């Protein structure tokens, strides 16, 4: 079965917006052995949408639409699909009651136009959405099905995971897919590729994908075979030499993000962390506390954006605020003042202004203080302000991770 993806919404046809949902869906569909042969973006135009859907249904077994399920007049995806399939819609009181209850929990009153979201196409299964008001719809048709998902990525991915994937798997010919997922910190995409390409390029199956985003690289191995045994055997052959090359740069093998991996290393050692942040201004603390349960290992910290606040934390200093001694003292003070086992500090120049000859924009000192003493390292991150800040927070987490794995338990 082949698939087509239709992203709906006039805002998706502006120069500012990219349809990232289709990338997620393509990845998920490929994992089920389904090929995406066509994807498109169509505005809030019912007739054009219905024509597009009709064409898609004629040539592909699976048609997925994202967006246009909201409560407003210009949300016409349901209507367009009903028109394309030539099926009537009915009002589903139970859905509207669910929406009403959700609004009530939030202390808000449901609006009359939310009734549009309770319209169901004949023959459709309703896919409950616990992250928004618009339910998804799954409409089995002769050679496959039509799937309607809400546009906001957090709702779309959640509905896909919990409701849609299993239904689509059920219409797919049985092929077994097994994956390995390595997450790697502290090296760039092309360095990593050069390192492991000699291994993975020898194999078409498993397929190897390298995905990079700001200081974080993922390696996916994907074996697709007739049986689970075959797939596992393939992975058991290819994954170990890759893991050996990457060594302790691998921070997770189960998809955990870096902050969770670091949190679990702290937890396993009965240790806690605190931060002192200058240029990241809270980003590092936000990363630490992104992980559920982080109160077990994160105590808090100090946003020392202004020099006065740095002095209040570490006392008077004559050095440049972006320097090794200040980074070391910030890390040590964060730990001792917050009563944490480890202190992590970040002080640097995120830009666009503030760069000097010695410390150009992108210069960041990261300090880690712990039971084994304190150390600091200088980084020079490329790119504009938000990239420098994100990279600084990621590398700070990785510096702490390095200190933790050096500590045997």
CB closer to a copy of itself, 55 vs 402: 55
Site for a copy of itself in 326-385 (CB under 8 A): 337-339, 350-353, 380, 382-385
Measured over the CA atoms of residue 243, residue 248, residue 249 and residue 255, the dihedral's sign is positive
Q: Are 273 and 299 in contact (CB under 8 A)?
A: yes
Can you state the angle between helices 77-85 and 46-59, rounded to 10 degrees?
Answer: 50
CB closer to a copy of itself, 40 vs 141: 40
Least distance in angstroms from the C-beta of 123 to a copy of itself: 27
Radius of gyration (C-alpha) of the chain in whole angstroms:
26
| Residues 51-70: x where in contact with a copy of itself by CB under 8 A, - otherwise, as a string | xx--x---x----------x
Tell whether residue 154 is a contact of a copy of itself (CB under 8 A).
yes
Using CB under 8 A, pick the residue from 88, 128, 188, 373 that binds a copy of itself: 188
Tell whether residue 166 is a contact of a copy of itself (CB under 8 A).
no
Using CB under 8 A, pick the residue from 97, 169, 191, 248 that binds a copy of itself: 191
Main-chain phi, psi angles of 168, to 5 degrees: -80, -35
Tokens of 397: 């987490």
Most distant CA pair in the chain: distance in Å?
Answer: 77
Using CB under 8 A, pick the residue from 101, 104, 111, 406 that binds a copy of itself: 111
Main-chain phi, psi angles of 392, to 5 degrees: -60, -45
Tokens of 327: 């980074």
Tell whether residue 257 is a contact of a copy of itself (CB under 8 A).
no
CB closer to a copy of itself, 360 vs 373: 360
Using CB under 8 A, pick the residue from 46, 123, 305, 355 that binds a copy of itself: 305
Tell whether residue 160 is a contact of a copy of itself (CB under 8 A).
no
Q: Which of 149, 79, 80 minimizes the C-alpha distance to 116?
A: 79
CB closer to a copy of itself, 87 vs 115: 115
**Rounded Cα–Cα distance for residues 83 and 111 (Å):** 26
Least distance in angstroms from the C-beta of 366 to a copy of itself: 15
Beta bridge partners of 217: 184, 212
Determine if residue 356 is left, alpha or beta; phi over 0 gives left, psi from -120 to 50 gives alpha, anything else beta. Answer: beta
**Rounded Cα–Cα distance for residues 163 and 78 (Å):** 18
Rounded to the nearest 10 degrees, how much is the dihedral formed by the CA atoms of 252, 255, 257, 262?
-30
Site for a copy of itself in 9-28 (CB under 8 A): 10-11, 13-18, 20, 23-24, 26-27
Site for a copy of itself in 318-337 (CB under 8 A): 337
Tell whether residue 280 is a contact of a copy of itself (CB under 8 A).
yes
Report the SS3 class of residue 184: strand
CB closer to a copy of itself, 123 vs 281: 281
**Rounded Cα–Cα distance for residues 131 and 116 (Å):** 18
Tell whether residue 183 is a contact of a copy of itself (CB under 8 A).
no
Tell whether residue 121 is a contact of a copy of itself (CB under 8 A).
no
Tell whether residue 395 is a contact of a copy of itself (CB under 8 A).
no
CB closer to a copy of itself, 107 vs 315: 107
Residue with tokens 């992104």: 290
Using CB under 8 A, pick the residue from 211, 233, 236, 244 that binds a copy of itself: 211
């Amino acid at each position: 079965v082949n698939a087509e993806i239709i992203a709906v919404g006039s805002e998706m046809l502006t120069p500012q917006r990219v349809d990232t949902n289709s990338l997620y869906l393509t990845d998920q569909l490929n994992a089920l052995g389904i090929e995406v042969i066509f994807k498109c973006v169509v505005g809030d135009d019912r007739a054009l949408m219905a024509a597009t859907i009709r064409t898609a249904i004629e040539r592909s077994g699976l048609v997925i639409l994202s967006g246009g399920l909201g409560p407003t007049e210009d949300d016409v995806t349901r209507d367009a699909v009903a028109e394309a399939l030539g099926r009537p819609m009915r009002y589903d009181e139970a859905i509207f009651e669910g929406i009403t209850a959700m609004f009530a929990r939030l202390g808000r009153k449901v609006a009359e136009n939310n009734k549009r979201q309770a319209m169901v196409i004949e023959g459709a299964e309703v896919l409950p959405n616990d992250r928004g008001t618009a339910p998804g719809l799954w409409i089995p048709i002769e050679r496959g099905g039509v799937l309607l998902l809400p546009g906001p990525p957090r709702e779309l991915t959640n509905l896909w995971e919990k409701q849609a994937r299993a239904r689509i798997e059920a219409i797919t010919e049985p092929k077994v897919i097994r994956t390995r997922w390595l997450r790697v910190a502290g090296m760039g995409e092309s360095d990593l590729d050069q390192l492991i390409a000699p291994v993975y390029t020898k194999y078409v199956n498993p397929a190897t994908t390298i995905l990079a985003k700001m200081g974080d690289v993922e390696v996916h191995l994907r074996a697709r075979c007739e049986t689970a045994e075959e797939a596992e055997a393939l992975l058991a052959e290819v994954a170990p030499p890759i893991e050996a090359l990457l060594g302790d740069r691998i921070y997770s093998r189960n998809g955990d993000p870096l902050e969770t991996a670091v949190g679990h290393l702290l937890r396993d050692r009965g240790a806690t962390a605190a931060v002192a942040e200058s240029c990241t201004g809270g980003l590092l603390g936000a990363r630490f506390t992104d992980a559920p349960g982080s109160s077990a290992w994160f105590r808090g910290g100090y946003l020392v954006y202004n020099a006065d606040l740095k002095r209040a934390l570490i006392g008077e200093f004559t050095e440049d605020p972006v320097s090794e001694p200040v980074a070391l003292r910030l890390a040590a003070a964060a730990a001792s003042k917050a009563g944490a086992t480890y202190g992590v500090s970040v002080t640097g120049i995120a830009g666009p202004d503030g760069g000097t000859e010695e410390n150009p924009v992108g210069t960041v000192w990261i300090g880690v203080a712990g039971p084994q003493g304190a150390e600091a390292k200088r980084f020079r991150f490329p790119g504009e302000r938000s990239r420098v800040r994100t990279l600084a927070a990621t590398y700070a987490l990785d510096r702490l991770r390095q200190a933790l794995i050096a500590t045997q338990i």
